[in-house]
């Protein structure tokens, strides 16, 4: 396992050194990780990367080489560097379960730890969870557009480096993809790998027919041919049908075809007609070529015969929305075992954080449909035998009352007193968890454009605390 301890911004270490010199490094603090805007301008975000975060925290330590490098920067006291020799995370981390559907402003991860420890992990925590959550959400949107057709992740060669390609493939499968072309991701995460041949295979042979037949000879049980190297309808498809006939004569059934260019709606429908005339029904007609959720949605609505989608660049890079703006903010600091809430004040209301040690609960109606989320102080409780009234944190006259409802706390222990509590799950189990959650939300929240905004409110106790703190800062 790689040592990622120095995967951090320099200012985390300079602050840690300063805390040490001022003898406040052991003060217990609370930080929250949350985002202010949903990924891809959508209606929800799927949280991903919790497993890698647990692995990172478990392996935190400063090697001799790390300390020698830090010493060479001439920024840190020798006492501080000696202190880091025995570094080990000893705090508590609560996080939502891998694959949880979340919304802006909600604490995804809450860290309660000595100040120097909580400060160090900020950067790595954000880079791990921000990226994978972005790609999982993008994949979910693409799969939603595909309306049940399998979506295959093809983005490795266009990813922002090997880690992005590999962990992005993991996130894409959690978000709904059926498989990936990335063999390393398949090995590391036990996910299906997919792929046939490239245009170069066809170009290498003297004729397209010879290339197709050679491929069918090698893979008679899984023959899916790329038919757009020269001309889809005049060359690729007729040659594919000849090879399929040869396969069938030998007792094999072909898998399908792939089209990587051209008018996918027209070509796919023409291909389907010709395949059916030749006696080939229900074959895979896979499309690729810079697809995303919007293109797939348009093709589906216009009646394409494509029934399998290979999505690469625009998925693995989340091309039109290439980052999730997750942040990590101080929410409280303990003094004499009492939590002193902390708040960041800004002229931009979205940048004012919620103070205190918090949790998130999801409210479901009697039909198990998610109705709203409530951000609460850690020690607050809900009596589900009584009606529950929530209100908009800004427009407080907007209220909703629930009488026949259930609630679910979304946070689970990830680390307690430095001991990892994460329960490793197969990727298909995480993927199923995502699907089960999405089924509890109305389709209006899942629309690709102009989704309905899901209710996220503050408990009365948290709202009072935040309002009082803002008033004490004299920001109005």
Asked if 71 contacts 89 with a C-beta cutoff of 8 angstroms, the reply is no
Q: Residue 2: what pLDDT?
A: 84
Q: What is the spatial distance between Cα 333 and Cα 450, in angstroms, rounded to a whole number? A: 39
Q: Distance (Å, rounded) from C-alpha 128 to C-alpha 98? A: 12
pLDDT per position as a tens digit, 295-330: 999 999 999 999 999 999 999 999 999 999 999 999
Tell me what pLDDT residue 476 has.
Answer: 43
By the 10 Å C-beta count (0-12 exposed, 13-18 middle, 19+ buried), 187 is classed as: exposed
Spatial separation of the C-alpha atoms in residues 233 and 239, rounded to whole Å: 10
* pLDDT the model gives residue 350: 79
Q: CA torsion, points 6, 8, 12, 14, in degrees to nearest 10?
A: 50
List b or e across 385-407, with b for residues whose CB sees 16 or more CB atoms inside 10 angstroms. Answer: eeebebbebeeeeeeeebeebeb
Residues of the chain with pLDDT under 70: 474-476
Asked if 199 and 226 touch (Cβ cutoff 8 Å), the reply is yes
Distance CA 43, CA 431 (A): 19
What per-residue confidence (pLDDT) applies to 96? Answer: 98
Residue (of 282, 269, 454) closest to 371 by Cα position: 454
Rounded distance, CA 264 to CA 261, Å?
7
Tell me what pLDDT residue 474 has. Answer: 55
Query: With 0-12 CB in 10 A as exposed, 13-18 as middle and 19+ as buried, what is 342?
Result: middle
Q: How many CB atoms are closer than 10 A to CB 34?
A: 24
pLDDT at 473: 73
* Structural domains of the chain in order of their starting residue, each with its CATH number: 10-135+322-472 (3.20.140.10), 196-289 (3.20.20.70)
């Amino acid at each position: 396992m790689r040592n990622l301890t120095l995967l951090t911004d320099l200012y985390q270490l300079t602050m840690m050194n300063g805390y040490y010199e001022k003898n406040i490094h052991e003060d217990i603090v609370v930080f929250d990780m949350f985002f202010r805007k949903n990924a891809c301008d959508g209606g929800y975000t799927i949280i991903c990367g919790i497993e890698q975060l647990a692995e990172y925290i478990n392996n935190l330590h400063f090697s001799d080489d790390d300390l020698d490098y830090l010493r060479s920067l001439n920024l840190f006291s020798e006492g501080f560097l000696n202190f880091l020799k025995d570094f080990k995370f000893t705090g508590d981390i609560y996080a939502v379960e891998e694959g949880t559907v979340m919304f802006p402003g909600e604490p995804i991860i809450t860290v309660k730890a000595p100040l120097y420890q909580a400060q160090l992990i900020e950067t790595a925590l954000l880079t791990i969870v921000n990226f994978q959550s972005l790609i999982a959400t993008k994949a979910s949107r693409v799969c939603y557009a595909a309306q049940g057709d399998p979506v295959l992740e093809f983005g490795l060669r266009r990813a922002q480096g090997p880690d992005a390609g590999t962990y992005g493939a993991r996130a894409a499968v959690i978000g709904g993809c059926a498989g990936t072309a990335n063999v390393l991701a398949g090995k590391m995460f036990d996910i299906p790998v997919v792929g046939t041949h490239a245009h170069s295979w066809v170009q290498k042979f003297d004729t397209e027919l010879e290339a197709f037949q050679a491929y069918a000879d090698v893979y008679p049980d899984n023959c899916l041919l790329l038919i757009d190297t020269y001309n889809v309808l005049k060359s690729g498809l007729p040659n594919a049908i000849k090879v399929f006939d040869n396969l069938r004569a030998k007792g094999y059934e072909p898998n399908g075809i792939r089209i990587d260019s051209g008018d996918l709606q027209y070509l796919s429908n023409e291909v389907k007609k010709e395949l059916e005339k030749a006696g080939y029904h229900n074959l895979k007609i896979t499309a690729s070529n810079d697809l995303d959720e919007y293109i797939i949605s348009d093709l589906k609505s216009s009646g394409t015969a494509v029934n399998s989608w290979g999505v690469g660049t625009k998925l693995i890079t989340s091309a039109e929305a290439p980052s999730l703006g997750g942040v990590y903010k101080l929410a409280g600091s303990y003094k004499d075992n009492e939590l002193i809430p902390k708040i960041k004040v800004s002229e931009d209301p979205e940048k004012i954080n919620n103070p205190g040690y918090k949790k998130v609960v999801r409210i479901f109606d009697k039909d198990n449909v998610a109705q709203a989320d409530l951000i609460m102080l850690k020690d607050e409780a809900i009596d589900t035998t009584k009606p529950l009234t929530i209100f908009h944190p800004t427009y407080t006259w907007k209220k909703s009352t629930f009488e026949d409802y259930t609630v679910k706390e979304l946070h689970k222990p990830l680390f307690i007193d430095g001991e990892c509590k994460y329960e490793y799950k197969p990727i298909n189990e995480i993927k199923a968890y995502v699907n089960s959650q999405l089924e509890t939300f109305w389709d209006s929240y899942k629309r690709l454009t102009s989704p309905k905004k899901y209710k996220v409110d503050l408990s009365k106790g948290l709202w009072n605390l935040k309002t009082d703190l803002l008033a004490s800062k004299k920001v109005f």
